[in-house]
Chain A
């Protein structure tokens, strides 16, 4: 096997040269080889492109479009709907649901601001129909964008063949290119029936977007940002929601300041939080699901494990992590290195261990964010088709927002990470918390908390963490400044915009 890989590696470039000579005048068009008399005969009848992208999600589409702009004959293979996770079962429909939930909060505040809104009833059905229509509209935009860019869309599942030159097969047809990008993304992990009997009775975030009605009783399992967002949306829209977490706090890889506060906010907003708990089994009754939960506080060694049952659950949602979509790809035979979870290992230039094959986005398991995949895909296109040798994405200082209630914004290092990297004596922390002015006259309250992690004598800001009303829109600009290497003094020098919440960052003491 290793020898085979070796062989194809040395062959591929020769092929490339030949192809280029033969078809240079057809660069913008895919060309089908008629007959194979070539050494690489195995790739016979493969449709040939300059750039072949597997996966029509954020990263794949961005890479494909940029490559096409730069003159590469490009095709995108997609098995499902264009737009990938973000558009279909991620950021976009999620944020629509979050916006809907924010309206629920506003409706709560209306009377405090003098509005008499009368009787209010929420129709999940109306919202879902409009959300689906919007997503379909986006799918169409993506399709049009590809067509406009003369990128061929190939519908179906891609599988690498055993041809010496990297080639994929979709619905029995072969496609090849000197540059193949894997951008197949990921999917929610599920537990097996062996691990938790009845686990299959639950849904994942994918299933959340298929729900036709608002569940009356929801149980969310997980402590990551997806669990937090799903629990927040369901609870705010009126579902009685329990959140089952294995330890004592949510978002444990976030700064402890945020983790603690978010855990508290979840409880404040009426979510029934089960700490130190795990789902043991799930069963179905006439009235819905019965979720059996075991709880044990590891601090209290002598305590017995406690078993409880939540009854009449109509939505059990597993949000316990995500896995890369690589299973059908046959990447094993391509000799691509993967990590223990199956993520494709890439270098800083998105190169996999096999030359001519690249990967971006969630399938690599690093910074699972749409804009990251988009940026990485574009940078790669510039490197491959514009000769920009150094074009790569800098993975440091990536800002991210969690659409919790209220939202969380974070960029850079947590306090813990900073201390670990630079030592406690080199780290200075600034913190503040306040009630945003919006809540000055509302009976519903939420705090805004902010933290700066500064490093060294010059107090370079290496981390910024916040949770509160408006934090989602606050972060981007600060992320630019932090990327530029802003110091605490730069924050202090900036004149505030009054009255906002974000001004607290530039008036911190």
Chain B
């Protein structure tokens, strides 16, 4: 009964609201038009509709250079997080088979992997998610339009269908959330004709075979990781001079300020582990040209930047993972004079996601200085919808965002890297607690655990507030979330100490860290 009353009350409130807003905005077709049906755009439009706004969302997927297309849901669902994590799971199972033998399973014959079985299953799952998003929009009364949107003025959007039919929509507010797409290098002959990107890899009908992955972004490492894990001969080509440059390169690729996290040491652990598990690395190399041989194989020629020597090898596939660019071309931003960052091409936005033009907002991967992460886009989108509906003034807090890289050895982190903390607080102002631990699951499996590492960066004085927390190991994603929450609550080193561990887990090693880097003592964990 109580629930019923509450329900009725809520209905009344939203109903009144709807009437109220309608009267104010009647001169527009919609209260809100969202361009871009990705994680952020969908979250924003659904939230707005739930608050009684009249909302339309425009989504149109321009096929990739290789002709790959997909449905509603944006990068995350179609060519990002979801298929990536599933392929990562497949790769983990590839490693698990080897471990299983150590755990007493006698497996006769060789284990082989069939790409089409995996890819079809994943693609079917993605299609079910596309469908799920369609249904949700319908349920929440968001008008979905499969058209390519561009801006005419600060209240008008023009939509173009695939067939070239035009629709014009007016709205009180317009939100741009078109995200980004992978880049191709511009000066390498054959790069685009013969190479694919992360837009294509998950939708390949047959195995990419022997693959060269170019780039040092997390996308490059994740893709190379799962390709290796399912048994493919995989090489990562990295331009940087050293791992130090690796950070720089990575930052220049992504230009998002939370990316301090791919710090030197942690990145090194991740790539060391990958190397130990069969991924090849061609360090300090820059591709020069790509040729297709009569056999169908791709011949890649590159220069070793250190020796100046030119080398070549043949591959079945070439994957470019050299960064992402915002999807702004079709939006007609210049006509309205919306300010962009010239270097990155992203939209310059305020703390409230407003662009330089009134009534036009932008968030997610398309906006300057924002982390390119699904959960931040979702959260920012919901908060924006609430503000636009006049329901709240709460702004998105882009600090303290935790994230995980799903490389074969997962890496999760929140807060500052050691380097960044040192920059801000001085070497004497921080205390680093660290530990090299051995996951119990590695012991019987006789796996090398030298890259399983935990680093907690704390203030040195007072309560030793935690400034950053880094974890490499199995299940880093699951481990990190809770600590990210503790971090959000202002956790200190003593809070970690006060929490009883959970034995035997990897996560307990975080609350057990006791060796400071300053002490120079061996940080290897022994025994329970």
Docked-complex contact B105 and A399, CB < 8 angstroms: no
Give the residues in chain B near A122, CB-CB below 8 Å. 104-106
Among the listed A399, A440, A491, A497, which residue makes an inter-chain contact with B477, where contact means beta carbons less than 8 Å apart?
A: A497
Give the residues in chain A near B90, CB-CB below 8 Å. 113-115
Docked-complex contact B495 and A438, CB < 8 angstroms: no
Indicate if B125 sits at the interface (CB-CB under 8 A). Answer: yes
In the complex, the chain B residue whose C-beta lies closest to that of A472 is B505
Q: How far is the CB of A410 from chain B (nearest CB, A)?
A: 10
Docked-complex contact B402 and A103, CB < 8 angstroms: no
Do A478 and B443 form a contact, CB below 8 Å, given A103-B103, A107-B100? Answer: no
Give the residues in chain B near A401, CB-CB below 8 Å. 502, 505
Indicate if A284 sits at the interface (CB-CB under 8 A). Answer: no
- Bound together, the chains give a CA A401 to CA B503 distance in angstroms of 8
Q: How far is the CB of B371 from chain A (nearest CB, A)?
A: 9
Docked-complex contact B118 and A113, CB < 8 angstroms: yes
Query: Which one of A92, A134, A398, A480 has the greatest number of beta carbons of chain B within 10 Å?
Result: A480
Q: How far is the CB of A229 from chain B (nearest CB, A)?
A: 13
- Bound together, the chains give a CA A375 to CA B502 distance in angstroms of 12
Docked-complex contact A120 and B503, CB < 8 angstroms: no
Give the residues in chain A near B503, CB-CB below 8 Å. 86, 91, 369-371
Docked-complex contact B81 and A498, CB < 8 angstroms: yes
Query: Which one of B114, B118, B486 has the greatest number of beta carbons of chain A within 10 Å?
Result: B486
- Bound together, the chains give a CA A109 to CA B481 distance in angstroms of 26
Name the prevailing secondary structure of the B interface residues: helix
Docked-complex contact B508 and A481, CB < 8 angstroms: no
Give the residues in chain A near B76, CB-CB below 8 Å. 498
Give the residues in chain B near A370, CB-CB below 8 Å. 503, 528
- Bound together, the chains give a CA A147 to CA B284 distance in angstroms of 49
Q: How far is the CB of B133 from chain A (nearest CB, A)?
A: 15
- Bound together, the chains give a CA A374 to CA B504 distance in angstroms of 13
Among the listed A110, A371, A397, which residue makes an inter-chain contact with B508, where contact means beta carbons less than 8 Å apart?
A: A371
Give the residues in chain B near A491, CB-CB below 8 Å. 485
Give the residues in chain A near B338, CB-CB below 8 Å. none
- Bound together, the chains give a CA A110 to CA B96 distance in angstroms of 9
Among the listed B125, B378, B443, B479, which residue makes an inter-chain contact with A477, where contact means beta carbons less than 8 Å apart?
A: B479
Docked-complex contact B103 and A480, CB < 8 angstroms: no
Q: How far is the CB of B263 from chain A (nearest CB, A)?
A: 18
Indicate if B235 sits at the interface (CB-CB under 8 A). Answer: no
- Bound together, the chains give a CA A399 to CA B489 distance in angstroms of 18
Indicate if B374 sits at the interface (CB-CB under 8 A). Answer: yes
Q: How far is the CB of B295 from chain A (nearest CB, A)?
A: 26
Q: Indicate with 1 or 0, residue by residue over B80-120, a CB within 8 angstroms of chain A CB atoms.
A: 01100110011001101101101111111111111111110
Give the residues in chain B near A119, CB-CB below 8 Å. 107-109
Give the residues in chain B near A484, CB-CB below 8 Å. 486, 489-491, 495
Within residues 443 to 485 of chain B, which ones have a CB less than 8 A from any CB in chain A?
Answer: 443-444, 474-475, 477-485
Indicate if A495 sits at the interface (CB-CB under 8 A). Answer: yes
Do A113 and B89 form a contact, CB below 8 Å, given A473-B506, A477-B480? Answer: yes
Question: Which residues of B are in contact with A by a Cβ distance under 8 Å?
Answer: 76, 81-82, 85-86, 89-90, 93-94, 96-97, 99-100, 102-119, 121-122, 124-125, 230, 373-376, 378-379, 397, 400-404, 412, 440-441, 443-444, 474-475, 477-486, 488-491, 495-496, 498-508, 510-511, 526-528
A-B contacts besides A117-B107, A479-B499, 16 pairs, CB < 8 Å: A91-B528, A112-B117, A114-B113, A114-B117, A115-B93, A118-B110, A126-B104, A473-B478, A476-B510, A477-B486, A486-B489, A494-B488, A496-B374, A496-B375, A496-B379, A498-B374
